[in-house]
Structures are given as C-alpha cells and as structure tokens.
Amino acid sequence: MIQQSNNWVPLFPEKASSFAWQVDALYFYLIAISAFFTVIVVAAIFYFAIKYREKEKFQNGAEIHGSLLLETTWTAIPFLLSMTIFLGGAIVYYNQYRPPKDAMEIYVVGKQWMWKFQHPTGQREINELHVPVNRRIKLIMTSEDVIHDLYVPAFRTKADAVPGRYTTLWFEATKPGKYHLYCAEYCGLNHSGMIGWVYVMEQKDYENWLAGNVSSQTPAQAGRELFEAKLGCASCHQQTDQGRGPKLAGLFGKQVKLTNGQTVVADEEYIRNSILNPQGQIVEGYQPIMPTFKGQVTEEQLVALVEYIKSLGNETASMSK
Ligand code: CUA
C-alpha cells in the first residue's frame, strides 16, 4: 500500500487508515469553503462601507427593486455547494459505518475506566489492541456501565460503546506503528485516563504476538462451556428440533419468524436480546418459557455465548429458516 505523506499540517495526527485521507479531504474542503466566504464577506463589508458612506447630511438612498437574476444566483450557488458537502459527508459516512463482511472481528467491552479487547483466537487485552496491517478489522463494542466512545485519531474514526447493545466500528490500518486510543465520551472521574494504544503490526509480527499470548479458551469455547454446563442452555436448546427451545445450529445470520408475525435477522444484537430479554422476541412455534439471564451473565460472557452460537453456523447447512 502506498502511504500518504504524513504530517504536512502540524498538530494533525498521522493518517494510518484506509479512509483517513477521505476524512481529511472533507475537513479541508469545509475549511476552504468557510475561509473563502469569510474573506469575501469581510471584504464586501469594508468595500460597501466606504463606497456608500454618507456624503452629505440626511441624504436618502436610491430605491432598490428586486432582481430575479441575483436572487436565483444566490440561491443556486449555496444550494449546489451544500449538496457537495452533503454528498462528500454521505460518502465518507457510508464508507466508515458499514463494516465489510470479510472483516476480522474483535470484541470490545468498555467499562469505567478501561477498554477490554478479545480476539477471535482467545487473546485478551486491556487498553492495548494489537492488529495486523492492511487487514479489515471490525470491532463489536458494548459497555458494562455508561456510554464510552472508542476513538483512534490516526484512523479518523470513533464510535460510541453503549450499555445494553452492540455497536460496530471498522478500520483498515495502513501503516505499522503505535497509535493513541481514547475514550471520547465523558464517562466519569477517570474518563481522561481511559486511554490506550493500538499496535499495528506486520502480519508475521501479529502472528508471533498471537502465538506469544495464547489464551486458554477462545470466546466460542468459553461460550460452549457456559451453554452446555454453567447456564444449562443445552437442556432446552438441543441439537434437534424436539427441544423446548429452538435449535440454534445454523441460526446465525438467518431470518427468524416470530410469533407476532415479524421476521428478524439473527445477528449479534438479536442473540444478545434473546438471552437478556427472551420474552421480547418469541420464535414462531415455541412457548415463552425461557427465563431471562439479565444480571447473571457479564458482558464478556454474553460475547462468549454470541460467539459460540455464531460458531454453530456451519455445522448444519440444511437448517430450516
Ligand atoms: Cu469512557 Cu470516557
């Protein structure tokens, strides 16, 4: 990948993600437009103040009638300009907030006052995130307490981590290095200390790092343990359709029909809600008998359960919808 020349503007953070230049381009475009019109307006004020100054006492100004050409022009130009701003903003927004399908997924849990990361291979980190360069990374985030906001200036991206739901953020780092990570939502006494580093590594270095930080369990393995033993989910959600609860193999990403006639997609949020608020979305053909697990599972255990149910996706391809 070709690197953009770095800090040509002092005070600006490095550009280290695939869409960083787009954010900067949009920003400078807005600054340029604002500066251009500021200069014109200020110049016009001075020019008219001098040109139309009072030349004799109690003089009356000439009568002015409307001009269609003038009215049209000063409506059309701002309209066109604001449309370019809107389009530019929309393009950058869509690029940033629609995570690509092939991204590597890392779970993030924010809490007062730290960031916890968990890799799909099981490695856990606090206030540090190691990622490979030139690889799309999707962060699936939530919070254990209040709203936090993950912000990496060098990647020009940020998103809230909100208690009670999953939000996502994605980026593709383009340059190996060490980049500041911030919480960008005031979250209490130690908000300013809720900071860390993102380490962007060459693929080889990343693999070495993974190898040197072996975790005992991947999220999916931990989830399996919870599902089968600790929480006893498996007693109702069996491998067959005969269980008291729906079969979960092959569920992830599929459409689910509910008793109220709605159809929803079984994504991370759906699974999470089904665990915490099972009465909210009852699958067609089943009774509302599942107890809530609210207060009994931590955010990290929820992540593990979600990952386990995701991992069941490929086991049976012929799962009914
Ligand atoms: Cu977390 Cu501010």
Contacts of 10 (CB under 8 A, 6+ apart): none
| Whether residue 90 is found in the same domain as residue 173 | yes
Q: What is the pLDDT of residues 33-61, one digit of tens each?
A: 999 999 999 999 999 999 888 787 877 77
In a domain, 113, yes or no: yes
The residue from 163, 184, 216 where one domain ends is 216
Could you please report the per-residue DSSP string of 72-136? Answer: HHHHHHHHHHHHHHHHHHHHHHHHHHS--TTPEEEEEEEETTEEEEE-TTS-EEESEEEEETTSE
Nearest atom within ligand 1 for CA of residue 191: 2
Nearest atom within ligand 1 for CA of residue 192: 2
| Whether residue 28 is found in the same domain as residue 167 | yes
- Cα-to-centroid distance, 182 and ligand 1 (Å): 8
Spatial CA neighbour of 263 closest among 240, 285, 281: 281
Q: Which residue has the higher pLDDT, 173 or 315?
A: 173
**What residues flank ligand 1, with Cβ below 6 Å?**
110, 113, 148, 183, 185-187, 191, 194
Q: Count the neighbouring beta carbons within 10 Å of the beta carbon of residue 173.
A: 26
DSSP 8-state symbol, 192: G
Nearest atom within ligand 1 for CA of residue 147: 1
Question: How many domains does one find in the chain?
Answer: 2
The pLDDT, as a whole number, for residue 7 is 53
Spatial CA neighbour of 7 closest among 154, 118, 151: 154
User: What residues make up the domain containing 114?
Assistant: 13-38+83-216
Strand partners, 211: none
In a domain, 154, yes or no: yes
Q: Are strands 128-132 and 196-201 parallel, antiparallel or unpaired?
A: parallel
| Whether residue 30 is found in the same domain as residue 156 | yes
In a domain, 314, yes or no: yes
- Cα-to-centroid distance, 318 and ligand 1 (Å): 44
pTM (predicted TM-score): 0.72
Token digits for 30? 């807005």
Rounded to the nearest 10 degrees, what angle do helices 68-97 and 20-51 cross at?
160
Nearest atom within ligand 1 for CA of residue 110: 1
Q: Whose CA is nearest to atom 1 of ligand 1?
A: 148
Has residue 2 got a pLDDT over 70? no
| Whether residue 171 is found in the same domain as residue 202 | yes
Q: What is the pLDDT of residues 68-125, one digit of tens each?
A: 999 999 999 999 999 999 999 999 999 888 888 889 999 999 999 999 998 888 888 8
Q: Count the neighbouring beta carbons within 10 Å of the beta carbon of residue 303.
A: 24
Positive/negative CA dihedral, 9, 182, 305, 265:
negative
| Whether residue 224 is found in the same domain as residue 142 | no
One-letter amino acid of 305 = L
CATH number at residue 199: 2.60.40.420
In a domain, 48, yes or no: no
Nearest atom within ligand 1 for CA of residue 148: 1
**Would you place residue 318 in the very low, low, confident or very high pLDDT band (cuts 50, 70, 90)?**
very low
- Cα-to-centroid distance, 183 and ligand 1 (Å): 4
Please give the sequence-ordered ranges of beta strands (E in DSSP) within the chain, or none if there are none. 104-111, 114-118, 124-126, 128-132, 136-143, 148-152, 157-161, 167-172, 177-183, 196-201, 255-257, 263-265
The pLDDT, as a whole number, for residue 38 is 96
- Cα-to-centroid distance, 197 and ligand 1 (Å): 15
- Cα-to-centroid distance, 309 and ligand 1 (Å): 30
In a domain, 121, yes or no: yes
| Whether residue 29 is found in the same domain as residue 112 | yes
Average pLDDT of the chain is 85
The residue from 181, 216, 251 where one domain ends is 216
In a domain, 27, yes or no: yes
| Whether residue 127 is found in the same domain as residue 205 | yes
In a domain, 227, yes or no: yes
Q: Which residue has the higher pLDDT, 176 or 230?
A: 176
Q: Which residue has the higher pLDDT, 195 or 264?
A: 195
Do the beta carbons of residue 148 and residue 194 sit within 8 Å? Answer: yes
Q: Which percentage of the chain shows pLDDT scores above 70?
A: 93
| Whether residue 210 is found in the same domain as residue 244 | no
What is each CA distance from 187 to 75, 193, 320, in whole angstroms? 43, 10, 44
In a domain, 58, yes or no: no
Has residue 5 got a pLDDT over 60? no
Q: In which region does residue 256 sit, left (phi positive, over 0), alpha (psi from -120 to 50) or beta (all else)?
A: beta
**Would you place residue 130 in the very low, low, confident or very high pLDDT band (cuts 50, 70, 90)?**
very high
- Cα-to-centroid distance, 126 and ligand 1 (Å): 14
The residue from 157, 189, 216 where one domain ends is 216
Has residue 154 got a pLDDT over 80? yes
Angstrom distance (rounded) from CA 106 to CA 301: 15
| Whether residue 110 is found in the same domain as residue 19 | yes
| Whether residue 18 is found in the same domain as residue 151 | yes
Angstrom distance (rounded) from CA 112 to CA 98: 28
| Whether residue 306 is found in the same domain as residue 225 | yes
The pLDDT, as a whole number, for residue 77 is 93
- φ, ψ for residue 176, nearest 5 deg: -60, 145
Q: Which residue has the higher pLDDT, 14 or 238?
A: 14
Of 137-146, 165-174, 279-288, the one with minimum mean pLDDT is 279-288
The pLDDT, as a whole number, for residue 36 is 95
| Whether residue 206 is found in the same domain as residue 235 | no
Do the beta carbons of residue 143 and residue 161 sit within 8 Å? Answer: yes
Do the beta carbons of residue 168 and residue 141 sit within 8 Å? Answer: yes
Q: What is the pLDDT of residues 178-237, one digit of tens each?
A: 999 999 999 999 999 999 999 999 999 898 888 877 666 788 888 888 888 778 787 778
Nearest atom within ligand 1 for CA of residue 194: 1
Q: Which percentage of the chain shows pLDDT scores above 90?
A: 45
- Cα-to-centroid distance, 192 and ligand 1 (Å): 7
